Amino acid sequence: MNIGQTHIDFEALLIEGPAGRFSVESKVMDVFAILAENPNAVISRETLIEKVWGVEHGGDERLSRAISILRKALGDIRGQHSHIETIPRKGYRFIAEQGHEPGGQGVPPDTMNDEADAAKNALPAKRPLTPVVPLVEPSASHKKRNRFGKMGALAAIILIGVAMIGIRTGYFDKASQKASQISRLEAGLEHVKHYMQDNAIVQAQTLFSGVLADNPDHAAAQAGLALALLREYAYLETDPAILHRAKATAELSLSLAPQLALANIAVGWAAGYEGEFDKALKAYDRADILDPDNLFTLVGRVTTYQKQNLHQQARETLTRAISLYPDYAFFHSLLGHQLMKEGEFVQGEASFRQAIALENNVPRFYSQLAESLHRQSRTPEAIKVIQDGLKIREDGALYNNLGTYLSDQGHYELAVQAIESAIQKGNSYGYLFWGNLGSLYSYIPSRKVEANAAFDRAIQLLQAKMELVNGKDPILQHRAAFYLAKRGKFDLAREAMARAQFDGPMPAFELYRAGCIHEIMGERDQALTQLEAAVKAGFPLHYIAEEPELKTLRQDPKYHRLYARLSPDL
């Protein structure tokens, strides 16, 4: 089957076109076959699951993954689905026009090339050049000048001949195509660099895919596409299928050009997202040999160090990065994030304000600034900053933060609306959004059933995330323990907490989270011990005084003695 420039081979399980060459699983191709056989018809999720996997085996997650893989292979971009359309609360519809099979009414590529060659050969032969015959015998000086004149004429003839050969052989077309590829590659990398700008990730993927449509073996374009996909995974939709494709694309780039710095960087980024930190750092070491202090290498190093809670290394790398690229707002944003991790909220605020001063149209910077204000007990200011960000774009992170702040003020219904908007406008695969939504539902007596469903979804997404990193991330384990405790699965929550092995001291926020988990499970003394450790590690005491999960704990005299002992006002 052909769809535009994309060819689908059902027997070989291949989809090949401008978006690249994809070898897909048989079940994924089965989903595509059902949709393609029923063009413009809405096929329900239940029907697809039953026909492909069978009701007894479930398949909801597998169907979502299959649709994501098919959209990537067909070249669909987030928000611009031109092949498989989602019909909310109903299912999916195949909306692309199908082309002809090779050998049908359509003209196969080989036939088109033969016709072009025939047309080229039908051109009239060039007329022979006619020599100029002098009318009079020239003088010696004229002969000398004429000799050089003839040489100039001969050079012109040669140049014309070379030009004609170039035209006939497509040399100039190839040169123009190469220049276009370089231009698109540079533009794509600029979009990856400023990925938080509106539509930047989509534009980057479009540019890299265009280069690869001309030359599938373009290693730099493969690397650039991998970086753009990883930005989509981290910033737009944490769908594991996107990460798998990004990793495969990065590895392909490296196999095509092992000495290309950008290919090593792409492999490093992908490894970092999968929790393979040693592999990531080795890739960055190779990139530094080939292209020292590349901006994308520095980004990868910092984020890898931050995921490992290696604060000193992250700080040192950020200091160097900002000295080399002082006007790159994202480095100031990363510095603010690092300062927040270390409990330096005022300094974090200053870094986020610097990021906004450099790029004032990035909603995520406003979200980060708001969080730094909230951590300083300046929640009304934080909400105002969120409103400023929403004027730029309705970003999921902004709505998520807004929901958190409204919840802290006891406005649970408004908070629910904000988190629901975060899921709708932002990342539907974000376990954090679903977990926050579950917590909010749990505070409203009439919405307990919805709370359980939201926690179940958060746990599912977290499990998928932990599989990607082989369970190595202790913070993910702690989050899973919290959601499991909220679901009443205390034994599983304790197991998750036991698996949360931190390399160094447990961060202040994780001590606080551990206190909440123990309180939910009815372990009051352990909860108070962990909360005291959290405050001593720099966690704001006022959070404990406002946290809904600790409402019952705050009625215990032991809490009041703890508060009196830790309060800075006494």
The string of DSSP letters for 490-502 reads HHHHHHHHHH---
Kindly give, in sequence order, each residue whose CB lies less than 8 Å from that of residue 9, ignoring residues fewer than 6 positions away: 15, 16
Which residue did the predictor score with more confidence, 116 or 190?
190
Beta bridge partners of residue 87, listed in sequence order: 91
Band of the pLDDT at 285, cuts 50, 70, 90? very high
Q: Is the pLDDT of residue 113 over 60?
A: no
Pick the CATH number of 2-94 from 1.20.58.740, 3.40.190.100, 1.10.10.10, 1.10.150.110: 1.10.10.10
Q: Is the pLDDT of residue 470 over 60?
A: yes
Side-chain-side CA neighbours of 358 within 13 Å: the count stands at 19
What was the pLDDT predicted at 106? 35
pLDDT of 405-420, one tens digit each? Answer: 998 888 999 999 998 8
Q: Is the pLDDT of residue 400 over 70?
A: yes
H or E stretch at 109: helix 109-121
| Percent of the chain whose pLDDT exceeds 90 | 43
Q: Is the pLDDT of residue 165 over 70?
A: no
What was the pLDDT predicted at 424? 79
Residues of the chain with CATH 1.10.10.10: 2-94
Q: Is the pLDDT of residue 269 over 50?
A: yes
Written as one string, the DSSP assignment of 279-303 is HHHHHHHHHHHHSTT-HHHHHHHHH
Kindly give, in sequence order, each residue whose CB lies less than 8 Å from that of residue 516, ignoring residues fewer than 6 positions away: 482, 527, 547, 549, 550
Look at the alpha carbons of 349, 352, 354, 360 in this order and tell me if their dihedral is positive or negative. Answer: negative
Beta bridge partners of residue 14, listed in sequence order: 9, 23
Q: Is the pLDDT of residue 131 over 80?
A: no
Written as one string, the DSSP assignment of 468-522 is HTTT--HHHHHHHHHHHHHTT-HHHHHHHHHH---SSSPPHHHHHHHHHHHHHTT
Band of the pLDDT at 174, cuts 50, 70, 90? low
Amino acid at 548: P
Nearest CA to 479 out of 462, 495, 465 is that of: 462
Q: Is the pLDDT of residue 381 over 90?
A: yes
Band of the pLDDT at 433, cuts 50, 70, 90? confident
Distance, in Å, from the CA atom of 365 to the CA atom of 362, rounded to the nearest integer, reads 6
3-state DSSP call for residue 542? helix
What's this model's pTM, rounded to 2 decimal places?
0.62
What was the pLDDT predicted at 312? 93
Average pLDDT score, the chain: 82
Q: Is the pLDDT of residue 160 over 60?
A: no
Distance, in Å, from the CA atom of 506 to the CA atom of 534, rounded to the nearest integer, reads 9
Q: Is the pLDDT of residue 516 over 90?
A: yes
Q: Is the pLDDT of residue 58 over 60?
A: no
Helices (H), 308-411: 311-324, 329-341, 345-358, 363-374, 379-392, 396-408
User: Which range among 101-110, 141-150, 385-394, 467-476 shows the weakest confidence by mean pLDDT?
Assistant: 101-110
Q: Which of 15-29, 93-107, 128-142 shows the highest mean pLDDT?
A: 15-29
Distance, in Å, from the CA atom of 5 to the CA atom of 17, rounded to the nearest integer, reads 6
Q: Is the pLDDT of residue 315 over 70?
A: yes
3-state DSSP call for residue 363? helix
Average pLDDT of span 542-557:
88
Which residue did the predictor score with more confidence, 332 or 137?
332
Distance, in Å, from the CA atom of 402 to the CA atom of 568, rounded to the nearest integer, reads 28
Band of the pLDDT at 157, cuts 50, 70, 90? low
Angle at CA of residue 383, ends 381 and 356, nearest 5°:
75
Amino acid at 106: G
Q: Domain spanning 177-326 has what CATH number?
A: 1.25.40.10
Q: Could you tell me the two tokens for 302?
A: 């910092």
End-to-end CA distance of the chain: 76
Q: What share of the chain is helix, strand, coil (3-state, %, to 5)?
A: 70, 5, 25
What was the pLDDT predicted at 490? 95
Amino acid at 125: A
Average pLDDT of span 208-221:
90
What φ, ψ does residue 453 adopt, rounded to 5°? -65, -40
Q: Is the pLDDT of residue 284 over 90?
A: yes
What was the pLDDT predicted at 124? 35
Which residue did the predictor score with more confidence, 251 or 100?
251
Residue with tokens 């290696």: 310
Nearest CA to 24 out of 89, 61, 68 is that of: 68
User: Which range among 250-264, 382-396, 416-430, 507-521 shows the weakest confidence by mean pLDDT?
Assistant: 416-430
Distance, in Å, from the CA atom of 69 to the CA atom of 29, rounded to the nearest integer, reads 10
Beta bridge partners of residue 6, listed in sequence order: 3
92 backbone φψ class: left, alpha, beta (φ>0; ψ -120 to 50):
beta
What number of other Cβ atoms are within 10 A of residue 346's Cβ? 10
Side-chain-side CA neighbours of 169 within 13 Å: the count stands at 8
Band of the pLDDT at 161, cuts 50, 70, 90? low
Band of the pLDDT at 255, cuts 50, 70, 90? very high
Q: Is the pLDDT of residue 190 over 90?
A: yes
What was the pLDDT predicted at 168? 58
| Percent of the chain whose pLDDT exceeds 70 | 82
Band of the pLDDT at 81, cuts 50, 70, 90? confident
User: Which range among 70-74, 99-103, 282-286 shows the weakest confidence by mean pLDDT?
Assistant: 99-103
What was the pLDDT predicted at 55? 56
Average pLDDT of span 461-488:
84
Residues of the chain with CATH 1.25.40.10: 177-326
Cβ 481 vs Cβ 496: under 8 Å: yes
Kindly give, in sequence order, each residue whose CB lies less than 8 Å from that of residue 440, ignoring residues fewer than 6 positions away: 403, 407, 412, 415, 416, 419
What was the pLDDT predicted at 78? 62
Distance, in Å, from the CA atom of 506 to the CA atom of 539, rounded to the nearest integer, reads 12
Q: Is the pLDDT of residue 544 over 70?
A: yes
Band of the pLDDT at 116, cuts 50, 70, 90? very low
Q: Which of 4-13, 57-66, 477-486 shows the highest mean pLDDT?
A: 477-486
What was the pLDDT predicted at 358? 95
The DSSP call for residue 430 is -
Q: Could you tell me the two tokens for 300?
A: 């990868």
Amino acid at 519: E
3-state DSSP call for residue 239? coil
N residues, the chain: 570
What was the pLDDT predicted at 61? 65
Average pLDDT of span 382-390:
94
Q: Is the pLDDT of residue 569 over 70?
A: no
Q: Could you tell me the two tokens for 254?
A: 């490296």
Which residue did the predictor score with more confidence, 305 or 342?
305
Q: Is the pLDDT of residue 236 over 90?
A: no
Q: Could you tell me the two tokens for 484?
A: 């499991």
What φ, ψ does residue 568 adopt, rounded to 5°? -70, -15
What φ, ψ does residue 84 adopt, rounded to 5°? -120, 115
Residue with tokens 């052989």: 169
